[in-house]
Amino acid sequence: MDIIVPEVGESIFEAEIAKWHVADGSQVAKDDLLCELETDKISLELHAETAGTIHLAAAEGDTVKIGAVIARIEEGGADKEAPVEKSGAPEAEIPAASAAKESPAPVSAPTPVPAAAPQPVAKSATDRPAEAEKPAPQGGPAIPSLDLPQKVDDDRVTRVPMTPIRRKIAAHLLAARQQTAMLTTFNEVDMSRILQLRREHGEAFKARHGVKLGLMSFFVRAVVNALKEVPEVNARIDGDDIVYQHFYDIGIAVGGEKGLVVPVIRDADGLSPAEIEKTIRDFADRVQTNRITLADLEGGTFTISNGGVYGSMLSTPIINPPQTGVLGMHNIQERAVVVDGEIVIRPMMYLALSYDHRLIDGRQAVGFLKRVREQLEQAEAGHLGL
């Protein structure tokens, strides 16, 4: 039975073998984890559909096309000689090839052109010795400088290639900075009311719905209501047009081992707090186990990123184009604030809204963020659906 690279999405044409969990020639059982694949958008796992002996046809780190055969499971027996011969041949050829490549290097290395360089320069220097000597120092350091990067890569450093997902994240974030007029505005929210509701109703919420009452359901609902009042933050630019989107697909940034992904809560305006919390928990579970799908990541009209779970006090989140806004949450800290003319201690959180200034003006951005803050500070128990 051939193990092939499955189709993941229309825009994905190749994948990288991130890790083999089985050895060449080993016995595998049905449903055993065989390998992890990485594309520029998601990671996925391949499992054995039958039991037998597996013969690998590709190595870790190889980039393979969708539909390519990367291994074969031989049911009911193992021909262990074949894999050894196949794997031995390339290993024997590699040193030979590398030796062939290395042998010209010592021949060409001693024959740079140090002696020839001063002669043409001296003739073009109008017989002034001071200028004739300048090319020699310039040409001299150039040869040793080429060796410096090689000397740095010793046992004190480790060099590894970027994974497809990391490369895609890097390119996407760089494009966001270069192709949008991004600006960030800040505010702070008193989290006393939210924390009180969680203390008073958290157990009943979990008993009724089977999921923990977190912060995100409050934030998602506050964001959706603010987006309805400031529709530009939920819009996108398409050429010279503004596309106003009358639906609310909210991306939730989730950190995984291999990078940040943003699965999307579809039609969040129609979901209860319990449904929002269950959806986010499911996303987090599937990200950690490499079961998130491309369909989970596509689209989205606005994104929420919670850097507070990592201890971030303040940051400027980057827009996820073609979206025009992203809300950054941060950690909750007790701080001294003035309420009704008195200094009191309250659990405070900084909020950051990064937005595309081509579409959203400062007045709209500040108004959106103030509306989010007001809804959080005035949240009611009726929001919980108990």
Q: Assign 3-state DSSP to the chain and report helix, strand, coil percentages, each to 5.
A: 40, 25, 35
Amino acid type, 52: G
Burial 339-371 (b: 16+ CB within 10 A, else e): eeeeeeebbbbbbbbbbbeebbeeebbeebbeb
Give 304-307 contacts, CB < 8 A, sequence gap 24+: 304/216, 304/219, 304/220, 304/223, 304/250, 304/251, 304/252, 304/253, 304/329, 305/253, 305/329, 306/215, 306/216, 306/253, 307/331
Distance (Å, whole) CA 207 – CA 72: 48
- Which residue, among 285, 283, 309, has the nearest Cα to 297 in the 3D structure? 283
Work out whether the CA dihedral 358, 362, 364, 369 comes out positive or negative.
positive
Q: Which position among 190, 238, 357, 383 bears the catalytic label?
A: 357
The strand ranges marked E within the chain are 2-4, 14-20, 27-28, 33-38, 43-47, 52-56, 63-65, 69-74, 182-190, 236-238, 241-243, 250-252, 254-256, 259-261, 264-265, 302-306, 325-329, 333-339, 342-356
C-alpha atoms less than 13 angstroms from C-alpha of 61 in its C-beta half-sphere: 3
Instruction: Identify whether 154 is a catalytic site residue.
Output: no
Residue 54 pairs in a beta bridge with: 73
Q: Which position among 62, 79, 267, 361 bears the catalytic label?
A: 361
Instruction: Identify whether 24 is a catalytic site residue.
Output: no
Q: ω before 137 within 30° of 0 (cis)?
A: no
Kind plus residue range of the DSSP H or E element containing 277: helix 273-288
Q: Which residues are catalytic?
A: 357, 361
